[in-house]
Amino acid sequence: MAGGNLSSEKIDLLVYGPNKPIIDKGFSDQFVLHPAETRADLERISPAVKEKIRGTAVTYSTARCDGGVMGMFPKLEIAASFGVGYDHVDANYAREHNIVVTNTPDVLTEEVADIAMGLLIATLREFVKADRYLRSGLWTTQQYPLSVGSLRDRKVGFVGMGRIGQAIARRLDASLVPVVYHTRNPVAGLSYKHYPDLIEMAKAVDTLMVIVPGGPSTAKIINADVLKALGPRGVIINVARGSVVDEEAMIAALKSGTILAAGLDVFANEPAVPDELKAMQNVVLLPHIGSASVVTRNAMDQLVVDNLKAWFAGKPPLTPIAETPVKGR
C-alpha cells in the first residue's frame, strides 16, 4: 500500500454516495474529489480518472461498496465508510486486495444509545399512541387507558454488547433495570450475566435490545423460535440492522400476541416498511434516526475526512476495521 503524501501530486478521491458539505469541503487543494451518488454514476467516470483514484469516501450505507465497485479503481488504497456498521462494504474483498476500510465508531455511540433508551420507553409506555389519543380530542371525555408495558419489573437481554450496547446498558443501570447479554464470547470486564445461547437468554428476559452488526452471520438471528421464547410480555427493540430480525416472523408474533410490542428504528428493506407494521398500535416505528442529529452526523462526516487525510499524510487511519489491518504504519 502506498499512502503518504507526494509533495506536488494531486490525490484523486471518489466521493461515493450522497453529497455532504463537510466531506465536500473538508479537503485541501491537494485533493481532487470525484462525486458519484449512484452505481450508474460510477459507470460514467472515465477510465483515465478511474486509474487515478486512490481513496474513496463512502458517504452512506445505501452506497454498496462491493468488490465490483472497488475493482473499478486499480489504485484504490482506502475506503473510508460513513457509519459504525459496514456491512455495505465488502471487507473480505478489501483485505484480499490490500485496501484499508475505516468506519466511524465512538462519535455516534451516545446518540444511538439515547435513541435506543427513548425508543424502549416510548414503546413500553405507548408515547405515540397516547399522543394520537390527545390530538384526537379523546382526552376531553375520558382518561387514557393504563399502559400494559412498563420499564419497571423488566429484565433486558442484549443481543450484542459492543460500544453502543454498553452505553445503553449504562442507561439501564441508572434506571435500575437488570441487564444480561448474548454474544459468541463473554466481553472482558463486564459484570452482566452472559448467555452463550440466544434462546436461553430470551426465555430468561422479557425485553430484547438488538444491537449487533449486520451481515450474513447475523441474518434473521431473531427468528420465530427466539420470539416464542421471549413470550407474551416480550418487547423487542431493534436499533441495529433490519436484516438481523426475521420481519415476517416478528409481524406474526405481534399479531398473535406471542410478544407484546416492538420498537424499531431499522427495517429489512428500508425505506420500505411493511403496511402491516404501520397499521399496528403496539409498535413504534422510526425512520432509521439512531445517529441522525446534526451534531453527531457532522462528527461522523468529519471522521470520514480525517481518516482519509491521515492515510494520505502517511499516518495510520484513525478507525480502521478489524478485517483490514493496517500494516507498516
Tell me which H or E stretch contains 180. strand 179-182
Catalytic-labelled residue, pool 64, 170, 288, 329: 288
Residues 190-229 as b or e (16 or more Cβ within 10 Å = b): eebebbeebeebbbebbbbbbbbbbeeebebbbbeebbbb
Catalytic-labelled residue, pool 88, 241, 247, 297: 241
Tell me which H or E stretch contains 199. helix 198-204
Ramachandran sector of residue 220 (left: φ over 0; alpha: ψ -120 to 50; beta: rest)? left
Catalytic-labelled residue, pool 37, 110, 248, 270: 270
Residue listed under C-alpha cell 433508551:
117
Catalytic, 135? Answer: no
∠ CA(95), CA(96), CA(98), 5° rounding?
A: 60
- Alpha-carbon distances, residue 228 vs 237, 258, 274 (angstroms): 16, 6, 21
152 Cβ contact list (under 8 Å, min separation 6): none
The radius of gyration of the chain's CA atoms, rounded to the nearest angstrom, is: 22
∠ CA(93), CA(98), CA(101), 5° rounding?
A: 70
- Alpha-carbon distances, residue 65 vs 82, 112, 115, 164, 297 (angstroms): 12, 24, 27, 24, 20
Catalytic, 241? Answer: yes
69 Cβ contact list (under 8 Å, min separation 6): 16, 39, 42
Catalytic, 43? Answer: no
Does the bond joining 271 to the residue before it have cis omega, within 30 degrees of 0?
A: yes
Active site residues: 241, 270, 288
